[in-house]
Amino acid sequence: MTTASICTIGDEILIGQIVDTNSSHISQALNSLGIRVTRMLSIGDESNAIISSLEAELAENNIVIVTGGLGPTKDDITKEALGKLSGASGTKTDERQLEIIHRILSARGLDVLDINLAQAAVPDTCSVIPNRLGTAPIMVFDFPEDRFGHKATLYSLPGVPFEALGAIDDVLQDIRSKHSTSDIYHRTIMTFGLAESALSKMIEDWEDNLPEDIHLAYLPNQLTGVRLRLSIYGGIREVEEARIETELAVLRSVLGDYIYSEQDDTLEECVGRLLKAHGKTMSTAESCTGGSIASLITSVSGSSEYYFGSVVSYANSVKTDVLGVPSEIIERNGAVSSECVAAMAEGVRKLTGTDYSVATSGIAGPGGGSDGKPVGTVWIGVSSQKGTETFKLHFKGDRKRNIERFAANALNILRVKLVNELNN
Amino acid sequence: MTTASICTIGDEILIGQIVDTNSSHISQALNSLGIRVTRMLSIGDESNAIISSLEAELAENNIVIVTGGLGPTKDDITKEALGKLSGASGTKTDERQLEIIHRILSARGLDVLDINLAQAAVPDTCSVIPNRLGTAPIMVFDFPEDRFGHKATLYSLPGVPFEALGAIDDVLQDIRSKHSTSDIYHRTIMTFGLAESALSKMIEDWEDNLPEDIHLAYLPNQLTGVRLRLSIYGGIREVEEARIETELAVLRSVLGDYIYSEQDDTLEECVGRLLKAHGKTMSTAESCTGGSIASLITSVSGSSEYYFGSVVSYANSVKTDVLGVPSEIIERNGAVSSECVAAMAEGVRKLTGTDYSVATSGIAGPGGGSDGKPVGTVWIGVSSQKGTETFKLHFKGDRKRNIERFAANALNILRVKLVNELNN
């Protein structure tokens, strides 16, 4: 089996200033080719450490993916180390990357400085995959079998997550052409509303009866719920996909409405798909979630087709004056109440003239809670021409987590209403 | 200088299922004692890999902090590996941890199973720091100088972030009693509006004249701008802090308004601080940013003191009907125009009765651009009683990045207005 090691270079990770998220994404991508990641490593911007660490990783693995150490102010160290490691006699300039550097900087209205141009210069031992999203090229170093006892390739990627992830497809393609990979067939089931332990209890019997070569992975995520992933390595596509489908048919009957999608997508994409398919529109009225729901919905390209807007009514005066919530409701029940979110949801639907709306009012914390309405309490209202419903939920997290969970649950409550009213 | 390595054990990190956040926190804690972290490493649940990797880390470092590999279902592998590595002849049970295990499980209403009790058993070569927050004890292995050529200590912590971080203070205290530590003095400068390369060019002379023992780090971040960090290891606090301050005085005169804070904080925290200090309030009107600015502002605890709300006017009808933007403006200039964001900013300020407001209208992409207004164009308007100003910016990113940059720049433009109008 082809194995890989993922290394990040940069003092900023070692001093704990930033968390490495690249390695996790790269690992998932390598996994999809049946490549096993044996180690992940972070090292500093120091030439000897870079050389000795990468040599050790190459000795144990076929593929080493390096990210970071390539910013315009510090790429000398990494490039020099990679040059030494690969026995380079000098540098060469990659004309394609040079052109990209000029294009990117002029689009940003920036002067092209010498340190920018220097980014296109690479050790003469490597081949280059142009980085269309940034100034630092992707460097590919191939080592012959006699160097480490096996064929080995080192890929050097920029550290900026957006650029590193943008380069992965090209890197995977290069790996396929040089190393042995196997196909993997998988399906992802998105669930929402069950914790990992409750979900695992619910599908225990089904899981126990899965054929041995069908692997099940739980991928929990606060925002999108638990993803279930079924995979088979190798085999004939049609046969293996049909076998996975057979298992899924049983799973669907067990989980029902907890499954929101069988594509690897988010609640906001799912909501958007439902609205678009039926030509319906929506709006939001947010208090405690402070624009998070709007921000999630508009993160989806094309959302302007179905999303008209939001009133973030953080102050009560905005709830009454803009959304038209009767001030008696707030005086009598408080802003965190069924009556208030119902009036907010109806108010924003009328104000914007949309078919659907969802509203939130709650206490994200850390302050502001009371005995009857502790921190973590949220009321969620959903409204359409067919009626308005409200729900009370409670979570136990810090401010950030509470807001994320409030927003995710609001989207899910809206999704269930859409499914019930539009699909039947 | 005392050096350290941080290792995580667990397949779930290697397959990209979870991101390791423990190492970053542990590194910051070690840094505060002047201990340099030279490497971070993730390895799988495999005995030989654990032993050989930890041996290699101990050979190069005085301190090795291990997290993970200690859950009730899999701690055999890690403990056995640690036992072998340290030459244990058997296990012993830690009575204090046993008591904690009983207490924690009974508080959760769970039966105490054999696999739970087994967690209190540790190799007889280690000493134990009880873990008050969970069932797995913290194991401490001290290696004499003749084993690795230097005094070395290995700490094994649970992988659950809440438990790992909860154990750090006890671990630091143990380190202080065994290894040489020193203080570190640092200051962080937050800048916005300059790319890393342009910033480095601007402060080139200043950087060249920095004393050798003052370390400068660039920490770029799309959302918060580039952070500059100045550090000195060791010395007398008053003396070293005064030396850093002398350098900062020069840096301030070079960078001027590009510095938005000398605390390690975000633009939204900075805006909040300015408003609160002067008893002023604000609101937002967002088109292309779709609630992102509202969401950033309300992520700050206590923002309800100065933030009244937002109108996310994604549809033009919401711009005209809710914000009162004259429809002639949109017909004549389009929604992405100076006139439109000025009217949006003034409209939301009037609607919500706030002192300040900021508004955005632009094209986040991927679709919707035109020759005169390509994808990545944004108009930003800021308004107060003293007047309304508008700015046009252009970025080249994908939808997500464009929205993030639009929002960050809107916050920065508001910040500059607040500084100019409130601090003078």
| Cross-sheet strand order for the sheet of A227-233 | A215-219, A227-233, A184-191, A259-261
Residue A97 and residue A120 in contact, taking contact as beta carbons nearer than 8 Å: yes
Identify which of A11, A315, A351 has the shortest CB distance to residue B308. A315
> Which chain A residue is nearest to residue B31, measuring alpha carbons?
A15
Give residue B286's pLDDT. Answer: 98
- Give per-residue pLDDT as tens, A298-327: 999 999 999 999 999 999 999 999 999 999
In this complex, how many residue pairs, one in chain A and one in chain B, have their CB atoms less than 8 Å apart? Answer: 258
CA distance A18 to A13: 5
Task: Output B311 or B69, whichever has higher pLDDT.
Answer: B311
pLDDT band at A183 (very low <50, low <70, confident <90, very high): confident
Q: Decide: helix, strand or coil at residue A314.
A: coil
Inter-chain CB proximity A298 and B318 less than 8 Å? no
Q: Confirm whether B3-178 and B184-261 share one CATH topology.
A: no
Report the pLDDT averaged over residues B153-168: 91
Residue B310 and residue B351 in contact, taking contact as beta carbons nearer than 8 Å: no
Judge whether residue A200 has pLDDT over 90: no
Looking at the complex, does the CB of residue B23 fall below 8 Å from at least one CB of chain A?
A: yes
Q: Which range is least confidently modeled, A75-79, A390-394, B73-77, B359-363? A: B73-77
Inter-chain CB proximity B292 and A290 less than 8 Å? no
For helices B267-277 and B399-422, what crossing angle results, to 10°? Answer: 30
Give residue B153's pLDDT. Answer: 98
Looking at the complex, does the CB of residue B52 fall below 8 Å from at least one CB of chain A?
A: no
Give residue A222's pLDDT. Answer: 59
3-state secondary structure A409-420: HHHHHHHHHHHH
State percent of chain B over pLDDT 70.
98
Q: What is the pTM of this model?
A: 0.79
Judge whether residue A237 has pLDDT over 90: no
B43: left (phi over 0), alpha (psi -120 to 50) or beta: beta
Give B245 to chain A, closest Cα distance, Å: 22
CA distance B22 to B28: 10
Residues of B whose CB is below 8 A from A311: 309-312, 322
One CATH from 3.30.420.40, 3.40.50.10680, 3.30.70.2860, 1.50.40.10 for A184-261: 3.30.70.2860
Give residue B73's pLDDT. Answer: 61
Judge whether residue B76 has pLDDT over 80: no
The distance from CA A333 to its chain's CA centroid, rounded to whole angstroms, is 38
pLDDT band at A19 (very low <50, low <70, confident <90, very high): confident
Judge whether residue A122 has pLDDT over 80: yes
Identify which of A38, A113, A308 has the shortest CB distance to residue B44. A38
Looking at the complex, does the CB of residue A284 fall below 8 Å from at least one CB of chain B?
A: yes
> Which chain B residue is nearest to residue A317, measuring alpha carbons?
B352
**Angle A182-A187-A192 (CA atoms, 0-180°, nearest 5)?**
145
Give residue A191's pLDDT. Answer: 94
Q: Decide: helix, strand or coil at residue B37.
A: strand
Give residue A339's pLDDT. Answer: 98
pLDDT band at B74 (very low <50, low <70, confident <90, very high): low
Q: Which range is least confidently modeled, A88-92, B8-12, B293-297, B359-363? A: B8-12
Inter-chain CB proximity B397 and A40 less than 8 Å? no
- Give per-residue pLDDT as tens, B235-248: 888 999 999 999 99
Neighbours of A397 (CB within 10 A): 16
- Give per-residue pLDDT as tens, B374-398: 999 999 999 999 999 999 999 888 8
Looking at the complex, does the CB of residue A48 fall below 8 Å from at least one CB of chain B?
A: no
Report the pLDDT averaged over residues A379-392: 98
Give residue B197's pLDDT. Answer: 83
Residues 329-388 of B with CB under 8 A from A: 351-353, 365-367
Inter-chain CB proximity A294 and B297 less than 8 Å? no
Q: Compute the mean pLDDT over every residue in chain A, rounded to the nearest whole number.
A: 92
Q: Is B238 exposed, middle or buried (0-12, 13-18, 19+ CB in 10 A)?
A: exposed
- Give per-residue pLDDT as tens, A26-69: 998 998 888 999 999 999 988 999 999 999 999 999 999 999 98
Neighbours of B305 (CB within 10 A): 11
Q: Which range is least confidently modeled, A71-80, B249-258, B265-274? A: A71-80
- Give per-residue pLDDT as tens, A123-180: 999 999 999 998 999 999 999 999 999 999 999 999 888 899 999 999 999 999 999 9
Neighbours of B420 (CB within 10 A): 11
Looking at the complex, does the CB of residue B39 fall below 8 Å from at least one CB of chain A?
A: yes
Inter-chain CB proximity A104 and B301 less than 8 Å? no
> Which chain A residue is nearest to residue B299, measuring alpha carbons?
A400
ipTM over 0.85: no
Looking at the complex, does the CB of residue B257 fall below 8 Å from at least one CB of chain A?
A: no
CA distance A356 to A191: 23
CA distance A303 to A325: 27
For an interface test with B, give the residue of A218, A298, A401 to mutate (most B CBs within 10 A): A298
- Give per-residue pLDDT as tens, A247-270: 999 999 999 989 999 987 899 999
CA distance B354 to A188: 47
Residues of B whose CB is below 8 A from A321: 351-352
Give residue A367's pLDDT. Answer: 87
Residues of B whose CB is below 8 A from A56: 56
Nearest to B172 by CA among B70, B31, B20: B31
Residues of A whose CB is below 8 A from B294: 286, 290-291, 294-295, 312, 314
CA distance B54 to A107: 48
Neighbours of B162 (CB within 10 A): 10
CATH architecture of the region A3-178: 3-Layer(aba) Sandwich (3.40)
Task: Output A401 or B170, whichever has higher pLDDT.
Answer: B170
Give residue B72's pLDDT. Answer: 65
Give residue B204's pLDDT. Answer: 93
CA distance B23 to B20: 7
Give B409 to chain A, closest Cα distance, Å: 14
Strand pairing class (A259-261; A184-191): antiparallel
Report the pLDDT averaged over residues B148-170: 92
Give residue A18's pLDDT. Answer: 81
Give residue A223's pLDDT. Answer: 66
Task: Output A225 or B373, whichever has higher pLDDT.
Answer: B373
For an interface test with B, give the residue of A7, A9, A11, A17 to mutate (most B CBs within 10 A): A17
Q: Where are the domains of chain A?
A: 3-178, 184-261, 267-422
Inter-chain CB proximity A115 and B301 less than 8 Å? no
Inter-chain CB proximity A44 and B38 less than 8 Å? yes
Report the pLDDT averaged over residues B161-165: 87
Residue B311 tokens read as: 């109108």
**Angle B142-B133-B159 (CA atoms, 0-180°, nearest 5)?**
60
- Give per-residue pLDDT as tens, B185-221: 889 899 998 888 889 999 999 999 999 999 888 777 7
Domain A267-422 has CATH 3.40.50.1220: no
Residues of A whose CB is below 8 A from B303: 290, 314
Give A319 to chain B, closest Cα distance, Å: 9
Report the pLDDT averaged over residues B92-120: 87
Inter-chain CB proximity B17 and A313 less than 8 Å? no
Inter-chain CB proximity A312 and B315 less than 8 Å? no
Residue A29 tokens read as: 């991508």
* Top-ranked range on mean pLDDT: pick from A175-184, A365-374, B321-330: B321-330
